[in-house]
Amino acid sequence: MLRNANKTFALVNSSNLNTTEHYKICDIKDISGMITDLATDDVRLDDFRHSGIRLI
């Protein structure tokens, strides 16, 4: 599904930011944007912002 999508977005709760799970859906480079409960200028999102991920 990811390969057929024009854009991919991840829904990320701030408590799960920078954590790992037992399974992997895709690489971070496969994400077009991230929807999160943090303000888009929050410093905890700097690494994602600098990677070119759109923050919403």
Q: What's the confidence (pLDDT) of residue 21? A: 85
Q: Is residue 4 part of a domain?
A: no
Domain count, the chain: 1
CA distance linking residue 47 with residue 1, whole number of Å: 26
Q: Is residue 2 part of a domain?
A: no
Q: What's the confidence (pLDDT) of residue 3? A: 84
Q: What's the confidence (pLDDT) of residue 8? A: 93
Q: What is the pLDDT along the chain (56 residues), one digit of tens a residue?
A: 888 889 999 999 999 888 888 988 888 889 999 999 999 899 999 999 999 999 99
Q: What's the confidence (pLDDT) of residue 11? A: 92
Q: Is residue 1 part of a domain?
A: no
Residues 6+ apart with CB under 8 A from 25: none
CA distance linking residue 4 with residue 15, whole number of Å: 30
